[in-house]
Amino acid sequence: MRSAFRGIGYYSKAISILFQYNLWTYFLVPSITSLILIFTVFKTRSKLVDPVQSFIGNLYPESWIGSNWIGGALDWLGGAVGEILVWGLLLLLMKHIVMIVASPFMSLLSERVEQIVTGKKSGGFQFQKFISDIIRGIRVALRLLVRELFWSFIVFLLSFFLPPITAILLFLIQAYYGGAGNFDFTLERYYGYRASVQFVKENRSAALGNGIPYIALLMTIFGFLVALPLATVAGTLQTLELIHGTNQKRID
């Protein structure tokens, strides 16, 4: 778990780099994409919540005793469950959708951070690489999404027996796969797809450490606007250390 705590600590270094080198332009694409997704959910929210609310609200027949009180309680519960499902699904999908859309730009941000830290010259913008980053971003995001859905479903089944720890487990699952995705913006310059997957498996704790602040930011009012670029910088610093060791330019 030491790597996980170190992963969280890289966020303070990431903020320092962002301010020191004025890298805020990299926030535009993920921030705009996130705003569009949030706006879309707000516009279509009732269409998604109402069916759930109606289904749960009508579970207790009106002809039965206490139908007014119980029906009202079920209606409220249905609305609450619908809202949780909608926003939970948004959180689950948003990070993958934003990752796919912003992957070429996050790759450029990661490359810029590596240039700052190591002095290694950047190759600059290349259209062929831009398309390659998009394709790899889709492949990585889909793989992570499928596995995240699988383990989330397993935890959902366990919730009937261990309800108190369900929320914690779901958060940790999202954090791990979120961190794994953020690591790939650096790993793509060093490893092929399968080797990158193996690298993350060998550094699960580090990926979890990167993902915990990332998911926490996605759950806040304004944090979702900065979550991906900030996690990308933190993940780049951590991944470079895992690959090369600690012989990097010090960033305070």
pLDDT tens profile 55-94: 777 776 666 666 677 777 877 777 777 777 777 777 777 7
Specify the 3-state DSSP secondary structure of 249.
Answer: coil
Please give the pLDDT value at position 250: 44
Task: Quote the CA–CA distance of 233 and 206 in Å, as a whole number.
Answer: 14
- Nearest partner of 234 among 217, 248, 204, 213, judged by Cα: 213
Global confidence as pTM: 0.81
| Three-point CA angle 120, 187, 243, nearest 5° | 70
Task: Quote the CA–CA distance of 224 and 95 in Å, as a whole number.
Answer: 9
Residue 141 placed within a domain: yes
Domain that holds residue 236: 2-28+102-244
Residue 127 placed within a domain: yes
Residue 64 placed within a domain: no
Residue 231 placed within a domain: yes
What six digits make up the tokens of 5?
Answer: 């705590």
| Three-point CA angle 196, 201, 202, nearest 5° | 95
* Inter-residue contact 228 to 191 (CB < 8 Å): no
Q: CA-CA-CA-CA torsion for 123, 19, 24, 218, nearest 10 degrees?
A: 110
Predicted confidence (pLDDT) per residue in 194-221, tens digit: 999 999 999 999 999 999 999 999 888 7
* Inter-residue contact 230 to 98 (CB < 8 Å): no
Positions of the chain with pLDDT under 50: 247, 250-252
Domain count, the chain: 1
- Residue 127 carries which side chain, given as an amino acid letter? F
Please give the pLDDT value at position 239: 96
* Inter-residue contact 169 to 131 (CB < 8 Å): no
What six digits make up the tokens of 151?
Answer: 């383990």
